[in-house]
Chains A and B, each alone.
Chain A
């Protein structure tokens, strides 16, 4: 009896975890925001539990986990051939739906390759064809770029602004000027204690240090320019035709 009770508790926990893993993909596909609450009710668990006891097995459900690994044909190969990464020109011709689908296909491929990379490190073996990862990353970067391009174009048309977040040039308490981009807050600035503590101005005694900083930057620029001049002189000494070319220019 005790053994049966213990077994039933184990079954309940296992079935709970299996149902969770099984249910999530279907929810994602339906695209319903928020979870249906029925899954976690105990009454439903009991009904399914009695039904499932006949087919009890304690191995992990492999539903979907095989996608973390390559095609079994390629297991143990030294190299796997792969085509080129997706070009930006090719991606610009694709609709948003296609790009969305392609992103997730690439993401799953990237997960598979990362698993492979980690496993080869663990086994101290070279990863077969690591350029696949670079191609996948490049394709994903290109998709992001294309979507961002379209977003910027639309924003320029509708608002005339290029950046998604507005900002302005501000000083910090050390007198430095930097681009401050606005952040989203739930309360106005005059009620925001954290924001009011920040100082976007500098006191008069800082002006001396601003001048010193300016002198420092001018000094480094002058040093860099003189270094370039000495390098150019060295080159002209070794290659006299460069001196003639620069003189004619």
Chain B
């Protein structure tokens, strides 16, 4: 009895259609613009295809309890210290907003506590994941490498460091503020002077001032030249006009659902 009722209900649903109670929405052949031929040429421009393996690995997330060192995560030293599957006790790092970060590579800072307290030097490396700053020549310990002792700097926490006023050469508190032009700058609270952010070296090691264009590089004038004229034609239509392609085929009526 119940089986029959259920079957009857099923029949009813099948008759109603795949959307059941709702009405099947239907739309005519879609057209982007007045030019009907453009639709036929669409669909060839997919993305850049599958990513390269190294790019995929670079985008891969680090494991949740990853302990950062002073080496970048994709170097051999980092892989040796953090093999996959290693789980170490977590280090608690004070959360600092990336916008609130004040110390950059190339800044002059003064060490407040530790072995070399009171000395000033330049920052050579910043490890944001652990709020570390490696200062040149300060807070060193000696390692025995290749028969001799080599001084290697230990990283300092942000709390053991202050930025130094460039003219006074005295330690100051620093805040991020906006100039009248709208530029975001670091301002020393004691004197009100602006501490400029030192030029950060690029990740690919290129120094823009010393760059000479290669044979495959586009010159600056050609790259900056504006050739775009806004029009109501789609990309495909403009290319067809430029290449004198005339599409005489008409698209057959298609259904979208």
Contact = CB atoms under 8 A, between A and B. Distances in A.
Contacts of A71: 215
A62 B33 CA distance: 43
B45 A147 contact: yes
A174 to B, nearest CB: 14
Interface stretch (B112-120, B136-144, B161-169, B218-226): B218-226
Given A90-B223, A131-B204, A235-B92, A144 B234 contact: no
Given A186-B252, A186-B254, A93 B92 contact: no
Interface in A169-204: 170, 182-190, 195-201
Nearest to A201: B20
Contact of B255 (A96, A98, A170, A184): A184
Contact of B254 (A90, A168, A184): A184
A82 B212 CA distance: 10
Interface stretch (A9-17, A41-49, A149-157, A210-218): A149-157
Given A189-B257, A235-B92, A200 B27 contact: no
Contacts of A199: 18, 20
A82 B214 contact: yes
A236 to B, nearest CB: 10
A95 B228 contact: yes
Given A93-B225, A158-B33, A195 B94 contact: no
A134 B52 contact: yes
A97 B25 CA distance: 39
B213 interface: yes
A140 B46 CA distance: 11
A83 B227 contact: no
A185 B244 contact: no
Contacts of B22: 200-201
Given A95-B228, A189-B26, A166 B256 contact: yes
A229 to B, nearest CB: 15
A84 interface: yes
A29 B25 CA distance: 43
A154 B256 contact: no
Contact of B27 (A81, A137, A182): A182
Contacts of A201: 13, 18-22
Nearest to B93: A235
Contact of B245 (A31, A96, A98, A141): A31
B227 A93 contact: yes
B24 interface: yes
B63 interface: no
A197 B17 CA distance: 9
Contact of A147 (B215, B225, B235): B235
Nearest to A92: B228
B217 interface: yes
A137 B214 contact: no
Given A164-B32, A186-B255, A195-B257, A242 B94 contact: yes
Interface of A: 31, 33, 71, 81-84, 86, 90, 92-100, 109, 117, 130-131, 133-134, 137, 140-141, 144, 147, 150-151, 154-155, 157-159, 164-166, 168, 170, 182-190, 195-201, 234-235, 238-239, 242
19 contacts: A33-B247, A83-B213, A83-B214, A93-B228, A94-B226, A96-B238, A99-B235, A130-B52, A134-B54, A137-B52, A158-B32, A166-B27, A182-B27, A183-B257, A186-B254, A201-B20, A201-B21, A234-B92, A235-B95
The 6 nearest A-B residue pairs measured at CB: A201-B20, A96-B238, A83-B217, A93-B226, A95-B227, A182-B256
Given A133-B52, A189-B26, 5 more contacts: A94-B226, A96-B238, A151-B235, A165-B30, A235-B94
